[in-house]
């Protein structure tokens, strides 16, 4: 889905520019995209990673809440396959890597 890629690029730009209002708009739009049942897993993952990064552009309390919500709502949908194997897949590790990096970026924000 091209929208997912455009959205991820724009949200990362908002984070890099430190534009809080733009970051909030992209976060809201990404949340709308997550409700699209036709969203490909690859596009969903791009949005997840972009959202995790853009949280560094919003206030820490907002970012903390957003990161927690992202983890709880999207983790069940992250998979390298649709089998029921019990080991960790690369996508889950990458998902948490993105969340941890986002949490660290939020933690080191200037007060």
Domain segments of the chain as ranges: 2-107
Residue 30, pLDDT > 60, answer yes
Calpha distance 35→62 (Å, rounded): 21
Stated pTM of the model: 0.73
What proportion of the chain, given as a percentage, has pLDDT over 70?
A: 76
Highest mean pLDDT, choosing among 67-71, 77-81, 86-90: 67-71
Please, are residues 19 and 57 in contact by the beta-carbon 8 Å criterion?
A: yes
Q: What is the pLDDT of residues 62-77, one digit of tens each?
A: 989 999 998 898 888 7
Q: How far is CA 4 from CA 27, 49, 50, 106, 111, in A?
A: 12, 11, 10, 23, 32
Residue 31, pLDDT > 90, answer no
In the structure encoding, which two tokens stand for residue 60, read together?
Answer: 């820490």
Residue 41, pLDDT > 70, answer yes
Calpha distance 61→33 (Å, rounded): 23
Using CB atoms within 10 Å of the CB of residue 75, give its burial: 0 to 12 exposed, 13 to 18 middle, 19+ buried.
middle
User: Residue 65 has what pLDDT?
Assistant: 93
The residue among 26 and 86 whose pLDDT is bigger is: 26
């Amino acid at each position: 889905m091209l929208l997912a890629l455009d959205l991820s690029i724009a949200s990362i730009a908002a984070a890099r520019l430190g534009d809080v209002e733009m970051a909030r708009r992209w976060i809201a739009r990404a949340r709308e995209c997550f409700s699209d049942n036709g969203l490909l897993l690859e596009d969903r993952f791009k949005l997840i990673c972009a959202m995790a990064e853009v949280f560094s552009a919003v206030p820490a309390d907002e970012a903390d809440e957003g990161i927690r919500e992202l983890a709880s709502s999207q983790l069940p949908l992250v998979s390298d396959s649709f089998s029921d194997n019990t080991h960790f897949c690369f996508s889950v590790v990458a998902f948490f890597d993105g969340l941890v990096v986002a949490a660290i970026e939020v933690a080191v924000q200037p007060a």
